[in-house]
């Protein structure tokens, strides 16, 4: 399959497969693929706490792309194929194992609460935990006994997931350490990929500051979703800093986008047969008070970046080169 020649599917015609709290999955361009769309929704405590943080989805898409691409490169199998745009990536469809695999290097969060170990305590070794993915039950922690007894995964699959989790942990620990960040813990999801009668377990979902605990080495400042969970504020700034340190973001303005509208109308004096036909139809339908109708076109466009002047210049270029026939048409550019 040539994934570089992805067929373009207009947003409106795409089939939505799943609407999650933080992401939406759409049917992909090829069988066995999906499009993973990152939303700006931040949720915690089983979605009891919810907020829209504009730009978060864009950052998570980029950070997750970076992590998954590197995992692929070092031979850790993942669902990631390629990033498509600011919020979306092409992924392989898998059968999600209904478990969250958590790897902990430093005590924090529920481990500290449950076992009374002070947050920030280095653990004697990396600890792997499993949680049953079930919103109604609040994703309870489960043991291997529960997993095999209830058939959520086989012993072999548990081994595979643990081996993957350790490789991902080693990679992430080094990656973040190199940019002055301590990987305290993270969560990952795995899925079953079926390929020519073979099945293997691969890493799926996302790996981002939403699913990792990341502390600045020097200040211990939190650079992850705990900023939202614990009302510390500055979530977007923290995620942006993570992306910048990883060398993903060069400018802040890559994060935002503007909605714009280009309206194209016929110049005065140019014959408009369609406008005339509509005018005639309206009159014959008995709609009163119509003097004349001129028809035009409207383009709703999303422009990347936060620079208005740059966006206007790009839209003017688009109109001049393609959207309008400037011999007979006028156009108007608005940032809305
Ligand atoms: N490659 C994949 N194939 C199929 N499903 C996937 C794949 N990667 C991730 N998913 C699933 O897509 C969903 C992503 O959406 P999101 O993370 O918003 O879910 P959620 O509503 O938070 O629920 P969850 O508690 O399951 O994470 C998750 O259910 C995840 O398990
Ligand atoms: Mg999720």
Q: Residue 306: pLDDT band by 50, 70, 90 thresholds?
A: confident
Please report the atom of ligand 1 found closest to the CA of residue 24. Answer: 15
Say whether both 201 and 305 belong to one domain.
no
Distance from residue 1's CA to the centre of ligand 2 (Å)? 28
Is the pLDDT at 330 greater than 70, yes or no? yes
Is the pLDDT at 302 greater than 90, yes or no? no
Question: Which ranges of the chain would DSSP assign to H, the alpha helix?
Answer: 56-73, 109-115, 144-149, 155-177, 226-229, 235-245, 273-284, 308-318
The parent domain of residue 230 ranges over: 3-254
**127/185 Cα distance (integer angstroms):** 9
CATH of the domain at 7: 3.30.470.20
What is the rounded average pLDDT for all residues in the chain? 94
Say whether both 248 and 269 belong to one domain.
no
Output the pLDDT for position 151: 98
Q: Which of the ligands is closest to the CA of residue 189?
A: 1
Output the pLDDT for position 259: 84
User: Mean pLDDT over residues 141-156, rounded?
Assistant: 98
- Residue whose CA lies nearest to ligand 1 atom number 11: 205
b/e burial code for range 246-268 (CB count within 10 A of at least 16 → b): beebeeeebbebbebebbbbbee
Say whether both 130 and 109 belong to one domain.
yes
pLDDT digits (tens, 9 = 90+) for 5-56: 555 566 667 899 999 999 999 999 999 999 999 999 999 999 999 999 999 9
Say whether both 58 and 88 belong to one domain.
yes
Residues linked to residue 88 through DSSP beta bridges, in sequence order: 37
Is the pLDDT at 139 greater than 70, yes or no? yes
How many other C-beta atoms are found inside a 10 Å radius of the C-beta of residue 206?
26
Say whether both 241 and 266 belong to one domain.
no
What is the count of structural domains for the chain? 2
Q: Yes or no: say if 35 and 26 are a contact pair by the CB < 8 Å rule.
A: yes
Say whether both 132 and 281 belong to one domain.
no
Is the pLDDT at 326 greater than 80, yes or no? yes
**204/25 Cα distance (integer angstroms):** 13
Task: Find the farthest-apart pair of alpha carbons in the chain and give their distance in angstroms, rounded.
Answer: 84
CA 8 from centre of chain = 18
Residues within a 6 A CB radius of ligand 1: 18, 20-23, 25, 34, 79, 91-94, 96, 133, 135, 189, 191, 204-205
Q: Which of 190, 225, 254 delimits the end of a domain?
A: 254
Say whether both 261 and 179 belong to one domain.
no
Distance from residue 21's CA to the centre of ligand 2 (Å)? 7
Q: Residue 303: pLDDT band by 50, 70, 90 thresholds?
A: confident
How many other C-beta atoms are found inside a 10 Å radius of the C-beta of residue 85?
12
Distance from residue 204's CA to the centre of ligand 1 (Å)? 8
Q: Residue 199: pLDDT band by 50, 70, 90 thresholds?
A: very high
Say whether both 193 and 273 belong to one domain.
no
**122/107 Cα distance (integer angstroms):** 6
User: Mean pLDDT over residues 49-76, rounded?
Assistant: 97
**179/169 Cα distance (integer angstroms):** 16
Q: Which of 212, 236, 254 delimits the end of a domain?
A: 254
Is the pLDDT at 120 greater than 90, yes or no? yes
User: Mean pLDDT over residues 217-242, rounded?
Assistant: 98
Distance from residue 20's CA to the centre of ligand 2 (Å)? 7
Please provide residue 45's backbone torsions phi and psi, each rounded to the nearest 5 degrees: 50, 55
pLDDT > 70 in the chain, percent: 95
């Amino acid at each position: 399959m040539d994934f570089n020649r992805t067929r373009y599917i207009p947003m409106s015609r795409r089939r939505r497969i799943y609407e999650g709290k933080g992401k939406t999955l759409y049917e992909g361009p090829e069988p066995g693929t999906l499009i993973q769309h990152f939303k700006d929704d931040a949720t915690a405590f089983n979605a009891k706490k919810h907020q829209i943080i504009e730009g978060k989805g864009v950052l998570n898409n980029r950070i997750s792309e970076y992590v998954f691409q590197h995992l692929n490169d070092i031979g850790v199998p993942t669902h990631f194929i390629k990033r498509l745009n600011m919020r979306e990536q092409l992924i392989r469809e898998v059968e999600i194992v209904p478990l969250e695999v958590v790897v902990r290097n430093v005590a924090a969060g529920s481990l500290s609460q449950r076992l009374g170990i002070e947050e920030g305590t280095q653990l004697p070794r990396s600890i792997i935990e499993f949680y049953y993915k079930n919103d109604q039950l609040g994703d309870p922690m489960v043991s291997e006994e529960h997993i095999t007894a209830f058939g959520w995964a086989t012993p072999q699959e548990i081994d595979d997931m643990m081996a993957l989790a350790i490789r991902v942990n080693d990679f992430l620990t080094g990656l973040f350490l190199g940019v002055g960040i301590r990987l305290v813990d993270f969560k990952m999801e795995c899925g079953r990929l079926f390929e020519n009668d073979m099945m293997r377990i691969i890493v799926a979902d996302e790996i981002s500051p939403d699913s990792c605990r990341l502390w600045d080495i020097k200040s211990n400042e939190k650079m992850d979703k705990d900023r939202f969970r614990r009302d510390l504020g500055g979530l977007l700034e923290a995620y942006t800093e993570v992306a910048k340190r990883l060398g993903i973001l060069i400018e802040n303005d890559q994060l935002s986008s503007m909605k714009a509208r280009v309206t194209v109308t016929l110049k005065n004096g140019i014959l408009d047969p369609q406008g005339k036909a509509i005018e005639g139809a309206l009159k014959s339908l008995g709609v009163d008070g119509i003097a004349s109708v001129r028809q035009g076109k409207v383009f709703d466009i999303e422009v990347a970046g936060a620079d208005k002047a740059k966006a206007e210049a790009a839209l003017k270029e688009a109109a001049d080169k393609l959207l309008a026939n400037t011999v007979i048409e006028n156009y108007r550019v608005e940032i809305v």
